[in-house]
Amino acid sequence: MNRNRISPATADAITRAAEKLRAGQLVGMPTETVYGLAADATNGEAIARIYEAKNRPRFNPLIAHVSDLEMARQLVVFTPEAERLATAFWPGPLTLVLPRRPDCPVSELASAGLDTLAVRCPGHAVARSLIAATGRPLVAPSANPSGAISPTTAQHVADGLGNRVDIILDGGACSVGLESTVIGFDGETPLLLRKGGIGRQEIEAVAGRLGSPAPDAPKASPGMLASHYAPAASLRINAKSPRSGEVYLGFGPDWPADLNLSPTGRLDEAAANLFAYLRRLDASGARAIAVAPIPDKGLGEAINDRLRRAAAPRDLS
């Protein structure tokens, strides 16, 4: 279980973790969305180790995490639209995909062959302290084996990646619980590449109407595989009640459930609980999980996106 790799995120532990990052090692990093598997974004060998540890397809690019907007400006070219979004939502669960600067110090491995780089300034103070202490941007995919459920506690990271990570900073359970919303651009038009911790309406209030990537542009959003976030148990969504042999994951007051994502029907609470509850039902030995309908508005859009992927036929080797 490697409990010994988990360390409370004290100032001292952050200093030690930053030293490890500068030496090319991997660190489990708490963020407000999910835990990340962090590496020095300027170190190609360290990035290669991330792809190996997660068994992640090499065509799936990584997000460079920055401690502030100033650091992001050294990596990518900001348009006025991107600037507005960063100002409104950073630090927080928003990732912007922008053209790399010609002098961008982040390894091209992080971009997986694209001429863009995804950047995000996380809302969790430990993450920002770690980036600042390292003095470099950090790439950090979710700290789970590729295709599995994202981790929302330090113990989830230890359970999934064990001895492949050199230290895991414990910054508590993630408050958002879903990955960041990823926005790309087609000229000035913002495109919703991944639904996530900030709802569509909130973003549209700042950026105007969001477009969708063209279906014939498969590279616009390389990480959006149909099957992802998959528990070991099978998953049935929009289930008004469980069938025989199923455990029931409820939402709201009306559902007599084995576990309830939010008994009061709050979407933010459901988002924060989603991945941990799927893991808990898996660990209980459940073979089949049925999930109550979740309203498809606000954070519910991202929750339903993750549930659809978790329920999809497994297409990962």
- Contact partner at residue 140 from Mg ion, ligand TXA, none, CB < 5 to 8 Å by partner kind: ligand TXA
**C-alpha angle 141-145-149 in degrees, rounded to nearest 5:** 85
Please report the DSSP string for 63-99 in residue order. Answer: EEE-SSHHHHHTTBPPPHHHHHHHHHH-SSSEEEEEE
Residue 28 or 242: which CB sits closer to ligand TXA? 28
Residue 97 or 133: which CB sits closer to Mg ion? 97
Minimum CB separation of residue 31 from ligand TXA in Å reads 5
Residue 64 or 239: which CB sits closer to ligand TXA? 64
DSSP-based three-state secondary structure for 12:
helix
Minimum CB separation of residue 271 from Mg ion in Å reads 15
- Contact partner at residue 273 from ligand TXA, Mg ion, none, CB < 5 to 8 Å by partner kind: none
Residue 138 or 286: which CB sits closer to ligand TXA? 138
The contact set with Mg ion (CB under 5 A) reads 142
The contact set with ligand TXA (CB under 6 A) reads 31, 33-34, 36, 60-63, 93, 95, 97, 111, 114, 116-118, 120, 122, 140-142, 179-180, 182, 184, 193-194, 221-224
Residue 107 or 142: which CB sits closer to Mg ion? 142
Minimum CB separation of residue 237 from ligand TXA in Å reads 21
Minimum CB separation of residue 216 from ligand TXA in Å reads 16
When CB distances to Mg ion are compared, the closest residue is 142
Identify which of 168, 169, 149, 150 has the alpha carbon closest to the alpha carbon of residue 158: 168
DSSP 146: T
Residue 42 or 146: which CB sits closer to Mg ion? 146
Minimum CB separation of residue 257 from ligand TXA in Å reads 27
Please report the DSSP string for 239-269 in residue order. Answer: -SSPPTT-EEEE-STT---SEES-TT--HHH
Residue 168 or 292: which CB sits closer to ligand TXA? 168
Contact yes or no for 168/38 (Cβ under 8 A): no
- Contact partner at residue 252 from Mg ion, ligand TXA, none, CB < 5 to 8 Å by partner kind: none
Minimum CB separation of residue 60 from Mg ion in Å reads 9
- Contact partner at residue 30 from ligand TXA, Mg ion, none, CB < 5 to 8 Å by partner kind: none
CA distances from 231 to 56, 65, 143, 145 (A): 17, 27, 15, 12
Beta strands 181-186 and 94-99 are: parallel
Q: Mark residue 245 as left, alpha or beta (left: phi above 0; alpha: psi -120 to 50; beta: remaining).
A: left
In the chain, the amino acid numbered 131 is: I
Cα(47)–Cα(4) distance, rounded to whole angstroms?
Answer: 24
DSSP-based three-state secondary structure for 47:
helix
When CB distances to ligand TXA are compared, the closest residue is 223
